[in-house]
Amino acid sequence: MNLNDFLQAAGASKQFISENKFEEIVLKEFKATPEILERLKHLEETPSESLRLEFFFYTNAAGKAKDFANCLKNRGYSADYSKVPGPTTIFLINGWTDKIKINTETVIAWSKEMCELGYGYDCAFDGWGTTPDQD
Of 35, 37, 61, which is closest to residue 49 (Cα–Cα)? 37
Label residue 6 by pLDDT band (50, 70, 90). Answer: very low
pLDDT attached to residue 86: 86
pLDDT single digits (tens) 74-86: 999 999 999 999 8
pLDDT single digits (tens) 84-131: 998 888 999 999 999 999 888 899 999 999 999 999 999 999 999 888
pLDDT attached to residue 1: 43
Q: Which CATH superfamily is domain 3-129 in?
A: RraB-like (3.30.70.970)
1 contacts: CB under 8 Å, gap ≥ 6: 9
Distance between CA 51 and CA 24 in Å, rounded? 26
Domain residue spans in the chain? 3-129
Residue 72 has pLDDT above 90, yes or no: yes
Specify the amino acid at residue 121.
Answer: Y
pLDDT attached to residue 26: 84
pLDDT attached to residue 124: 95
pLDDT single digits (tens) 36-67: 777 777 655 555 688 999 999 999 999 999 99
pLDDT attached to residue 67: 97
Q: Are 71 and 121 in contact (CB under 8 A)?
A: yes
80 contacts: CB under 8 Å, gap ≥ 6: 69, 93, 94, 95
